[in-house]
Each structure stands twice: as C-alpha cells, then as structure tokens.
Structure 1
C-alpha cells in the first residue's frame, strides 16, 4: 500500500499531525513548517523524528516543496486578520502574506499534490483572502467544499466553531455532493468506516486534585478576579456536556476566553446565582464553589489531543494556554481528512 506524503504548514504544536494519525489513513508527515520558536519546541518534543523547518513560509520555495513531493498539504494559517474581535484587516494584515504566497505558488506545485485541507476562524469565509484561495484552487484543477463546523456536532463538549476547506485535484471526486455554499454539518453520504465521534462530558477530561500536586492551588481563581468577574464566568461541572471556546488569552482574561470549572453540581451553582442578594454576599457564596481554571492538559483533551501529547517542562502555563488557543480540534480535522480521502484508491 502506498504511504501518502504529508506536508504540514503553519504546524504549531502539531494538531494537524495528530489529526492525520487519528484519521487512520496510511500516511506520513514528512515535513512541518512554522516560524514560532516556542510552538516548534513543543512540536519537536512530541514528533522528534519529523523534519521540522523553522522558517518563514514565504522563504519556502516551489523547488523545496516539490522536492518534498507531498500528496497532501494540511494548514491552519494565522487567524488574526479575520477574527471577530480583531481589526479584520484581511489582505492588509502582514500576517496574511504567507497564505498569499502559498496561493501564488500553488499553480506551480507538482501535480502529485492531490489533497489540501485548510482550517481557520469563523469569519475567514467572508475574507478576500478566502476568495483568492478558492479562485486559485478552481484555476489549478481542484474541486473543494467549505464548511463551518463545531466539535459539539460530533459529541465533544467544547464549542470551537471554525472554517474548514477540503480540496482534491480532478479527476478525483468527493463521495458526497459538493455545493457552492458553505455547509454547516458533516456530510452524511459516508459508510460506517468513517465514524464521527463519541459523546462524552466534562467528567471525561477533568483530572483529580491529586494529579496536579501544587499546580491545583495555582489553578484556583484568585479572589481579586472572582470579586470583579464572578458574574461573567461561564461555569461548567462534571456533568456538563458543553464548554466555551478556549482562546490564547485564557488565564489572563475571563470574559470570552473559555469556561471555568467547579467540582459542585449545576444545581448548587444555579441556587447561588438565583438567590443573589448583595455583592459581598454573592462573592462569598461564589468562593465556596472552588472555581478554577482548566489545566492545559484538560484543554488539550477537550481539543482531542491524545494523552501521549505533552509539553516540554520549561514552558509556563501562560505559554501553554497561548499555544492551545491557536491550535485546532484534532478530532474534527481527523474526520474531515477521512471524508476528503474517502473512496479514493490510496
């Protein structure tokens, strides 16, 4: 059986690599490229045998890529030019330059390249950068399908709605009917070999206090933060089947950066919120809930990184949160990889 050669661009901490492994496709990530030195430390820590290029993608020549001879390119370009809370500078943002460079060289890449998968934030679908990408794909002999998907759709208790594009070079066809509009659900025209996900709750990702050691105390929400931000916190418990999207600012800001955890039941939490009297009494009651941040390993588990994934010991928690906030949901991408290659003779 032929082993597919994979090139992972904007590789970060290796989410795409793990997704490729989880897909079950007979493939090897033969090279990864990222300019972020801290992310590359994590990547090398987990994938020491993979060729990792620490360089600007714009310096990655057509000749170099063709020499790698990838069958598949997986990429998650910088999302900052397109984020909901950002300036949305799109093509005017210098962080779009690497993606534009790839769009410009795509027609010159060897036709051995048969598959492309792109992940980005919701909002990318409205950008001029996206229009240039899809126009280039059409002109280069690819068909494609765009999606907006969330992990909750396949039973994962974490909201992380993202834009995805899967493309394959003609004459290959998808095993489902493609459309010109963005699809917001996984294709159903798949056989039983392409399973979507497993339903589980927050209980499946939470670690006990014993597993943390001294870190457990450090994860508790500081009193000054609790006093000022208690009403803004999204609190989840073991029985919860949802949590908010975790961003790179988690642990630094409270609002909109991710959920916090309480070991008490939702009924206990609701009773405190419903019986609020004055600010001081509410604050004292909230203190009894033992609210804490999710640990980096718990967030990684919510994003479906395998338990074998670890961080180097010299990284602090803030660095870990930032790296995870910029990464992908491994399970969602693995399903899309299977969908992309489904029924092809590989």
Structure 2
C-alpha cells in the first residue's frame, strides 16, 4: 500500500497508536497511515516513510528517539497506564444504588449457546429494550460459571481496559472487558467473580472510552447489538483528532500560486 502511495507522488508517515498514549484507559492499538501529495510536506519530515510507535511528533517533539523500540518497553507502557485517567471517569452508572441482584435479575436464567459463549438474544433485541436500565447489562451467572476464567475483569479505579469488538455483549470471551461493580479485597480471579457483580460496559460508556462527545447519541431505533457493533468498528477520537491536526499543520507553507 505504501509503495503504491509513494509511486503516486505522495509522502507518508505511519503510526501505531493506542488511546492509552493519550491518557484514555483503553487499550486499542491501531495502524494509521497519513499521506500528503508532493509538494506538501509533514511538519517533521525526518519521519517520512517510517513507522512511528509514539505520538510525540503530534505534540511538537521531533526527536528521533520517538520511533525507537524503547517506546514499546514494558516499563514505558506501565508508566503510560499509570498516567491514564481511571475508568470511573468514563462510567454512566457509578453508585452502589445502581447494583442489582444477579440471582433474580433479568439475566439470571440467560442461556448459553452450545458452541460458544453467546448471551441469549432475548435481552439484546426488541423495541422494548430500556437503554437506561443498569440491570440489563449484568452478566448472567451461567456465563460467569462457564467462561469466568476467560473474562477480562476491570474495576472503577483501573486504568486500562481491553478493546471492545463488534461482538461485545453477544460474546464474553475476547470481545472486551467486564466491569466489577463491587470491588473485592483482592482484585482479580482469586476472588469469587459471582460476588463482584460483573456487568457489561454500556454503549454510552464504550462511546466515552472512544472519546465521543457528550452530546453524541444513537437514533432510538438502533438496537443494542447494532450499537455495540458500530462502536466496535469505530475509531478513537482521542487518537484521530491529533493525527488530523498534525496532518494539516503545515498548510500555511504554500505559496499563493500553489494554493490556486
């Protein structure tokens, strides 16, 4: 792809970036390619035709070290995660009064399909679905018992959660993190998952982690499954916005003749 762009008279800069690098507690590394047709140029031309693993150029840092392997070290990522906001800043439901009884709630008897960890479709489709009811997002005990060891569990004070895919809420394995609304003394799976009142992140919360604006709303006729699917195929505004700003940073370099 890059070869075709270069042969077509464009200059490229490539990035692999995650919202974690922008202070958002959301692990979603994605490849981005920026291209400008010559004679346009990027603000820092030394990074042309290279793959960058850091957002430093986007914020005025043109040091060569930003593309080094050290930027991907475990220590560096640990520091990035520590600097992120806590997940509780992105939640729609936070108070203890929002909890429901998982033994008697609407998901208590949800079925699991024979070949995978799929939630009964009874609770994810239909015109009567109440998107504002927290009990609709509680993880059924049947899924916890069967797939608890494969779940990624996070807490309100966590500073990282896994990438949400388009299959989130339909499947619990590898589709995104689940939130423990009751924090045990010992975090993780050493404590009983049943006692942690696990729930799915709501579509609004997933949109928050994608850094969508507060006034963003889905049309009312869009089902819950469709909302998660579109969010799973979406982009992080926290990442794309500075990329676009960097992309157009040098527009003032043109002469009047070139602009015409």
Aligned counterpart for 2:86 among listed residues 198, 201, 217: 201
Offset at 1:267?
Answer: 3.8
1:189: how far off? Answer: 7.0
CA distance in 2, matches of 1:139, 1:287: 58
- 312, 322, 337: which one aligns with 2:219: 312
**Alignment-derived partner of residue 124 in structure 2:** none
Cα offset, 1:223, TM superposition = 1.5
Question: Distance in 2 between the 1:330 and 1:189 partners?
Answer: 14
Aligned pair partner of 1:166 in 34, 56, 81: 34
Shift in alpha-carbon separation, 1:184–1:266, aligned structure 2, 3 A: farther
- Counterpart pick for 1:217 among 110, 117, 135: 135
Quick check: 1:237 aligned with 2:155? yes
Distance in 2 separating the partners of 1:266 and 1:305: 31
Conserved in 2, the CA contact under 8 Å of 1:219 and 1:294?
yes
Unaligned runs of 5+ in 1: 1-130, 193-197, 276-284
Of 238, 261, 282, which residue of structure 1 is paired with 2:179?
Answer: 261
What are the within-5 Å matches in structure 2 for residues 94-243 of structure 1?
131=1, 134-176=2-44, 177-188=46-57, 190-191=59-60, 199-208=84-93, 215-243=133-161
Runs (5+) with no aligned partner, structure 2: 62-82, 99-129, 254-260
Distance 2:12 2:203 in 1: 34
* Structure-1 separation of matches of 2:150 and 2:184: 16
Of residues 181, 198, 204 in structure 2, which corresponds to 1:297? Answer: 204
Mapping 1:1-80, distance limit 5 Å: none
Report the 3-state secondary structure (helix = DSSP H, G, I; strand = E; otherwise coil) of the residue aligned with 1:135.
Answer: helix
Asked if structure 1 preserves the Cα contact closer than 8 Å seen for 2:16 and 2:31, the reply is: yes
Task: Give the SS at the match of 1:269.
Answer: coil
Contact 2:25 2:87 in 1 (8 A): yes
Structure 1 residues 218 and 343 mapped into 2: Cα distance closer, same or farther (>3 Å)? same
The normalised TM-score by structure 1 is: 0.53
User: Using the alignment, how far apart are the partners of 1:344 and 1:160 within structure 2?
Assistant: 30
Give the structure 2 partner of residue 87 of structure 1: none
Q: Indicate how the Cα distance of structure 1 residues 333 and 320 shifts in structure 2: closer, same or farther if over 3 A, else same.
A: same
Query: How high is the TM-score relative to the length of structure 2?
Result: 0.70
Larger relative strand fraction:
1
For 1:173 and 1:143, the matched residues in 2 are separated by 7
Q: 1:329 and 1:190, CA in 2 relative to 1: closer, same or farther beyond 3 A?
A: closer
Q: Relative to 1, partners in 2 of residues 1:227 and 1:341: Cα closer, same or farther, differing over 3 Å?
A: same
Partner-residue secondary structure (3-state), 2:215: coil
* Matches of 1:274 and 1:215, distance apart in 2: 30
Pair 173,146 (structure 1): closer, same or farther in 2 beyond 3 Å: same
Q: Give the distance between the partners of 2:248 and 2:154, measured in 1 at CA.
A: 37
